Structure 1
Amino acid sequence: MQGKFDAIVGITNDFAKQHLNDEYAQLIRFATAALCRKRPSPLASGKEKTWACGITHAIGMVNFLFDSSQKPHVSAKEIYDWFGVSPSTGQSKSKQVRDILDMRQMDPDWCLPSQLDNNPMAWMISVDGFILDARSVKREIQEEAYARGFIPYIPADGKPSDIDGEQTSPHQSKKQVSPHQNKPVNSSLDALYVLDVFLIDGPITEKFIAKNPVISRTIEIKGSNTLEDLHKIIFKAFERKDEHMYEFQVGGRGPQDPSARRYGLKQAFSSSDFTEAPTGEVSSTLIATLGLSIDDAFGYWFDFGDDWWHQINVTNIAEKAPESKYPKITERVGASPPQYADFD
C-alpha cells in the first residue's frame, strides 16, 4: 500500500499547501495511513484523487472547515472542484472514510491540535459514573486521565509546545507520564536498548485476534548492533519462515509517518518500486546512530505485499549492557500469527 499512500498524500499535500495548513496536511496523512492499515484496505480500489477528496472532506467536516468563520475556511464545493470529482462522489467517499475510521464532528481523535482547547469533547471523562470536564477536577484525577490517554495534556501545566506544531497519530496511545521523558539520547555503542515490538497490523484472522488481542515481543539490543540485527531478532521472535523486503521508519511519530527516516535493504536503493531512496542501509546502520531516547516510537514494515506493520517503543536505555549475547528476546505476549493466514 506504500505506493497508494504516496500517491494520495501527494495530492492532498498540494491541496493543503494551496488552501489549508500544515496541521490539516498532517491530519490528512494520518487518516490516509489509517486507511492503508485496514484489512482489506479500502484504498486498494478506486482512484487516488477520489480518495484524496474524500479524506480531505472528512477531516474538514470534523473540524468545521466549511464554516466561513473558521481559518482556514474552504467550502465543500471548492474541494470537489479542486479534486475534480462530482459533489455526490465526494460526499459518498467522505462518508465512507468517516464510517471506516469512526469519525464524527468534534472528534478528539481527529481534531486539529490547535483546536483542542476549544473542543469540549477532548476533555470529557467519566468519574464514578458522572461525565465531567477534566479541566474542573482535581489534579490527581487529571494526571491519571492524561496517563491513560483520555485528555491531551494536564491543564495546570499548560499546553506542551509540540501540540500545535506536531501531533501523534490518532488512536496511538499517549505516553505515560515518565521521569525519563526528557532523558538525553545515548549514542554509546555499549548502551543497552530495551524495545517493545508490537504487531499492529497484518493478514491475521479475526479468530486469532480474539485469542491474542495484544501481540508483542520485548527485545534487548546493543548500540553496536545494526538494524539488520534488529530485523533478524524480530523475524525470529515472531517465528517467521520466509524472508521479504522490509524497512524501518525512524524519527517520525510511529509507523507510516511520511516525515520519518527510512532504512532499508541494499536493493531498495535501486528499486523502481520506491519513490525515493531510503536514508540508509540496514546492514550498516548501528542502533546507536539512530538518536533514540526513552519513550520514542518508530516503525517496522515487513513484507511489502502482505504488509506486516509493527510499532517499536523504546522503553529503556542503559548506559552499559551486561555481558551477554545480543540481541535477544526477553518477553513474549501473545502467540505468533502464521506468516500466511488461511482465511477460508
Structure 2
Amino acid sequence: MQEKFNGIVAITDDFAKQHLNDEYAQLLRFATAALCRKKPSPLAKGREKTWACGITHAIGMVNFLFDPSQDPHISAKEIYQWFGVNPSTGQSKSKQVRDTLDMHQMDPDWCLSSKLDDNPMTWMISVDGFILDARFTPREIQEVAYTQGLIPYIPDNGESEYIGDKQASPHHEKAVNPSPNALYVLDVFLIDGPITEEFIAENSVVSRTIEIKGSNTLEDLHKIIFKAFDRQEEHMYEFQVGGSGPQDPNARRYCLKQAFSSSGLTQTPTGDVSSTSIASLGLSIDEAFGYWFDFGDDWWHQINVTNIVDKAQSGKYPRITKRVGASPPQYADFE
C-alpha cells in the first residue's frame, strides 16, 4: 500500500498547504496510514483523489472544519470542488472512512492536538454510571483513566488544586457569584443520538446558546433546551453535574422523581429538577455538565458554561440567543 499512501498524501498535503495547516496535514497522513493498514484496505480500490477528498472531509467533520468560527475553516462544498469530486461521492467516501476508523465528531483519537484541551469529549469519562469531566476528578481517578487510555494525559501534570472538597484546575475558574440574580451563558452541544449520516453531513455542529438566571431551575433549563432543539414530545431526562462517582458528595444527578424510577438507575438522585436552581449547582466558567434526554433513544448533550455575569439585565429568562446547525428530527426515519 506504500504507493497508494504516497499518492493520497501528496494530494492531501497540497490541499492542506493551500487551505489548512501543517497540523491538519499530519492528521490526514495518520488517517491515510491507518486506512492503508486495514486488511483488506478500502484504499486498494478507487481513485486517489476521491479517497483524499473523503479522508479530508471525515477529518474535517471531527474537527468542525466547516464551522466559520474555526480557524482554519472551509465549507464541504469547497472541498468537493477543489478535489473535483461529486458531493454524493465525497460524502460516501467520508462515511466509509469514518465507519472504517470508527470516527465521530469531537473524537479525541482524531482531534487536532491543539484542540484537545478544549474538546469536552477528550475528558468525559463514565464512573459508576456518571458522566464526568476527568479534569475535575481526584488524581487517582485521572491516573486510572490515563492507564486505560480514556484520556490523553493527566491534566496539568497533577498540579490541580483542591479547595475544600472540590477540585479546581488552572484551566477553569472557581464558582462565580452563586446569586439567584446572576446570569449564566450556556452552550448546549448535541453530541450523540439517533441521527442519520445524511444529517451529520449537512450539520457538522449542532448547538444552542442559552441565557438563564441563577433563580431558574433545572426544569426551566430542560424546557428551554426542549424548545431550542424543536422537540415535540416530552420524555424522561436527567442532568449530571461534577463529582468523581456516586459516593462523592460532588457527584450529582438531577431528574424528575418519576424519571428516576423509570430509568432503571439504582443511585439515589441528589435532587428534583423542579426544585434545584441553577445558582445552587456551584457552576464555574468553562465547566461542563451533561444532559440526557429520552432514556430510550438516548439524546446526549454537553453543556458548557461559557460565562457567568454578576447580575442579569432585565428581560425574560431563560432564552435562546444563538442557534448553530439544524435540529435533527426527534424520531429519525432510518428506513
TM-score (structure 2 length as normaliser): 0.51
* Counterpart among 289, 301, 309 of residue 280 in structure 2: 289
Aligned partner of residue 172 in structure 2, secondary structure? coil
Contact 2:137–2:243 (Cα < 8 Å) also in 1: no
* Counterpart among 236, 240, 257 of residue 245 in structure 1: 236
1:252 to 1:198, Cα distance in 2 relative to 1, 3 A: farther
Q: Which residue of 2 aligns with 1:208?
A: 199
Q: Which residue of 2 aligns with 1:306?
A: 297
Which letter does structure 1 place at the counterpart of 2:201? A
1:317 to 1:148, Cα distance in 2 relative to 1, 3 A: closer
Aligned partner of residue 249 in structure 1, secondary structure? strand
1:304 to 1:270, Cα distance in 2 relative to 1, 3 A: closer
Determine the C-alpha separation between the residues in 2 that align with 1:101 and 1:324.
Answer: 45
Determine the C-alpha separation between the residues in 1 that align with 2:274 and 2:136.
Answer: 36
Which letter does structure 1 place at the counterpart of 2:268? A
Aligned partner of residue 286 in structure 1, secondary structure? coil
Determine the C-alpha separation between the residues in 1 that align with 2:291 and 2:263.
Answer: 21
Determine the C-alpha separation between the residues in 2 that align with 1:288 and 1:328.
Answer: 17
Once the two structures are superposed, the pairs formed by residues 169-318 of structure 1 within 5 Å of their partners are 170=151, 181-252=172-243, 260-271=251-262, 273-318=264-309
Is 2:317 the counterpart of 1:326?
A: yes
Q: Post-superposition shift, 1:274?
A: 2.2
Determine the C-alpha separation between the residues in 2 that align with 1:250 and 1:312.
Answer: 10
The range that moved more, 299-308 or 267-276, is 267-276
Contact 1:252–1:298 (Cα < 8 Å) also in 2: no
Contact 2:181–2:213 (Cα < 8 Å) also in 1: yes
Q: Could you list the per-position Cα deviations for residues 254-312 of structure 1 after superposition, in whole angstroms to 9, with x for gaps in the alignment?
A: xxx9x841100121354472212311100000000001000100000000000000000
Which letter does structure 2 place at the counterpart of 1:276? Q
1:249 to 1:272, Cα distance in 2 relative to 1, 3 A: closer
Q: Post-superposition shift, 1:207?
A: 0.2
Q: Could you list the per-position Cα deviations for residues 52-79 of structure 1 after superposition, in whole angstroms to 9, with x for gaps in the alignment?
A: xxxxxxxxxxxxxxxxxxxxxxxxxxxx
Once the two structures are superposed, the pairs formed by residues 89-128 of structure 1 within 5 Å of their partners are none
Aligned partner of residue 283 in structure 1, secondary structure? helix
Aligned partner of residue 219 in structure 1, secondary structure? strand
Determine the C-alpha separation between the residues in 1 that align with 2:263 and 2:203.
Answer: 37
Unaligned runs of 5+ in 2: 1-99, 123-134, 157-168
Aligned partner of residue 234 in structure 1, secondary structure? helix
1:146 to 1:262, Cα distance in 2 relative to 1, 3 A: closer
Which letter does structure 1 place at the counterpart of 2:211? E
Contact 2:236–2:295 (Cα < 8 Å) also in 1: yes
Determine the C-alpha separation between the residues in 1 that align with 2:228 and 2:220.
Answer: 12
Q: Could you list the per-position Cα deviations for residues 183-204 of structure 1 after superposition, in whole angstroms to 9, with x for gaps in the alignment?
A: 4332100000000000000000
Q: Which residue of 2 aligns with 1:339?
A: 330
Contact 2:237–2:259 (Cα < 8 Å) also in 1: no
Aligned partner of residue 327 in structure 2, secondary structure? coil
Determine the C-alpha separation between the residues in 2 that align with 1:308 and 1:293.
Answer: 24
Which letter does structure 2 place at the counterpart of 1:220? E
Contact 2:185–2:307 (Cα < 8 Å) also in 1: yes
Aligned residues: 195
Which letter does structure 2 place at the counterpart of 1:249? Q
Which letter does structure 1 place at the counterpart of 2:240? Q
Contact 1:218–1:331 (Cα < 8 Å) also in 2: yes
1:284 to 1:163, Cα distance in 2 relative to 1, 3 A: closer
Q: Post-superposition shift, 1:170?
A: 4.2
1:280 to 1:238, Cα distance in 2 relative to 1, 3 A: same
TM-score (structure 1 length as normaliser): 0.49
Unaligned runs of 5+ in 1: 1-98, 103-108, 111-123, 126-143, 153-159
Which letter does structure 2 place at the counterpart of 1:250? V
Q: Could you list the per-position Cα deviations for residues 124-159 of structure 1 after superposition, in whole angstroms to 9, with x for gaps in the alignment?
A: 97xxxxxxxxxxxxxxxxxx677667xx9xxxxxxx
Contact 1:237–1:329 (Cα < 8 Å) also in 2: yes
1:161 to 1:201, Cα distance in 2 relative to 1, 3 A: closer
